[in-house]
Amino acid sequence: MPTVYARRIGVFASAVALASLTSLVNAPTAQAAPPTPISASAARSYLATVTPQAEGSTSGYSRDLFPHWSTVSGACNTRETVLKRDGVNVVQDSACAAVSGSWYSEYDGATWTAASDLDIDHVVALAEAWRSGASSWTTSKRQQFANDLTRPQLIAVTDNVNQAKGDLDPGKWLPPRTAYRCTYARMWVHVKQYWGLSMDSGEKTALVNILNGC
């Protein structure tokens, strides 16, 4: 894990400065976020209809079967588009690479000022999708899934936190920042519902338990 990163808490000597801090703290959540997921009640209603299925095999899986990152417009691909969307005051160069800005990682509460410290997480990981039904999809459909900007499937987060998550479902991994778990569960259910992906029993139980507390 990087040992130095930009924190949103500093030492301020006046009420004016404290007001500025409040503005900064609120900015990432207010200005930058993935598409709003379905409500907790809608997610609970959907889960009530789900019959758990044993998770499939990763046999034949490769990330290359989910082509990403796709060009969105001009020189900008999906990764750079998410970095722009999820950051504050993001400046991009002529190649659409983010050269400055600030990013708040909802998973762990860290704030970063270098895009290289961020991964774009597939909320429902590609390997998880493969085991849940995407193995039977066309490559074109898998590409749409891997670059889905319309559903809450992509989010910029601290790179090592994303790497710790790997391809685990909510029965095995949840964001370390507990305040985001309700939103994460709603995102997960939204994506799986839209794409028609199955859930195993441990995954469904974890989601129900989280959403019952939301």
CA dihedral 204, 210, 211, 214 (to 10 degrees): 180
Asked if 184 and 159 count as a contact pair (C-beta separation under 8 A), the reply is no
Looking at residue 31, its pLDDT comes to 47
**Over its length of 214 residues, how does the chain's per-residue pLDDT go in tens digits?**
443 333 333 333 333 333 333 333 333 333 468 999 999 999 999 999 999 999 999 999 999 999 999 999 999 999 999 999 999 999 999 999 999 999 999 999 999 999 999 999 999 999 999 999 999 999 999 999 999 999 999 999 999 999 999 999 999 999 999 999 999 999 999 999 999 999 999 999 999 999 999 9
* Cα–Cα distance list, 148 to 35, 82, 108, 177 (Å): 10, 10, 23, 24
What's this model's pTM, rounded to 2 decimal places? 0.85
Looking at residue 54, its pLDDT comes to 96
Q: How far apart are CA 107 and CA 204, in angstroms?
A: 20
